[in-house]
Amino acid sequence: MKLAIISLKGESSSKIAEEAKAFFKQVDLLDIRKIEVHATSKKLDVLYDGNLIEKYDCIYIRGSHRYMQLQRALTESLNEESYMPIKPRSFTIGHDKFLTLVELQKNKVPIPTTYLATTVGSAKKILSKVNFPITMKLPSGTQGKGVMFADSIQSANSLLDTLDVFKQHFIIEEYIETNATDIRVIVAGNKILGAMKRKATPDELRANIHMGAVGANYTLNPDMEQIALKAAKALGADICAVDLLEGLKPMVIEVNLSPGLTGISKATGKNIAKLIAENLYENTKLFKSSKTSNDYNNALENINNKKEIIANIEIKAGKIRLPEVITKAIGFIDNEEVVISIDKGKIIIKKL
C-alpha cells in the first residue's frame, strides 16, 4: 500500500513518514506548497510539482491554517479513492477557533463561555458584561500565537485597540484558573494515544511547548477520555490533538489538526509517530476492503472482535452501572445515541 503525507515537511511529519515505512510499501512526504487543485465542469485534478499526483491508498494532510482552503479542496478531490483521516469540513472548522467551539457546543462537548465580536466597538460592549480576568484570541493562529490575557477592562481595551490593526474578529473567552496548565491529548480514531500536562514558564500563561512550557505524562480519568474522543468525533478528525482545561468539569479549548509530536513523545515516553503510522495503516486496510465510504464507516463500527467479559454490575436508583473495562472496550462516548434491546436476563446495546 502507498501512503502520502502532505505537509510543510516539518519534524513531526517526517517522523510519521519514517515510522510508516514499516507498514506501507511506499511512503512519500510531499510539500503542500507544491500542490495545485484544478477544477473544471467535468472533474477535479490534483497536481504535485506540475504533474498529476500519484494514486495513493492513504493520504494524511497536515499543515497550518494558511493552507486551510487547499487542504479542504485536496480532501474533497481525493477522499473517494484514498483513506484520509481528516474530513473536508474539518479543515474549515478546525482552523478557526470560534467555529471549533460552535461545533463542540452543538455536540454537547463542554467549552468555556466564549464571545465573538466583529468590531472593536462590539467587543468593548462585551467587556462591560464579563468577569475578569479574560482570555482574548484571534480566530486563527497556532502554538499559542494570537492568545492574550487581560486582568482588567482597561488592559482589555488597550489590547483591542492594538488588535484592530489586524482587521480580524475577536474572541473573548472566560478565563479558567488552572495555574497556567492545560492537558494535551492525542486522539486516533477511538483511541487515546497519549496525554501530557503542560505547565507554562513562570512569566507566561500560555502552556504551549513552543512557548517554553514543560510537559509531563498525564493519566486521563474516564470523563476526560470521553470528552477528548467526543471532541475529535465532532470535528470529523480521526487523528488530532485535543486541548483540555482541568476544573470541576474538564473543558475543551482547542482541537489541533496538525499537532507537534516531539513534546508529547518525550513526556509520555511513547513513540506517538509510530502509533499514528500504525493507525493510518489499519484504517487504510479497512478502507480498501470496503467498496464504498458507507461500507467503510460500517466496518469501523464492527472492527473490534466480539468479546465476552464476566463482571459484576451495580444497580443504584434503578440504573445499571457497568464496570469501566466494559465502557472502554465498547468505545461509546457520552450522550451517543444507541439502540437497546432487552429480554429477561439479556440486554444488547448497539450504536444507532
Predicted pLDDT at 77: 94
Predicted pLDDT at 307: 60
CB atoms within 10 A of CB 174: 16
Predicted pLDDT at 9: 94
| Domains contained in the chain, CATH given | 2-94 (3.40.50.20), 113-174 (3.30.1490.20), 181-274 (3.30.470.20), 314-351 (no CATH)
Predicted pLDDT at 236: 95
Predicted pLDDT at 187: 97
Q: Which residues of the chain have pLDDT under 70?
A: 141-146, 201-213, 291-312, 317, 323-329, 331, 333-335
346, 308 in Cβ contact below 8 A? no
DSSP string, 292-303: SHHHHHHHHHT-
Nearest Cα to Cα of residue 175 among 156, 188, 159: 156
**For the chain, what percent of residues have pLDDT higher than 70?**
84
Instruction: For residue range 83-130, list pLDDT tens digits in order.
Output: 999 999 999 999 998 999 999 999 999 999 999 988 888 888 898 888
- Rounded to whole angstroms, how far apart are CA atoms 108 and 87? 20
C-alpha pair distances (Å), 341 with each of 53, 203, 335, 346, 350: 48, 56, 18, 8, 8
In sequence order, the 6+-apart residues with CB closer than 8 A to the CB of 129 are none
Predicted pLDDT at 206: 53
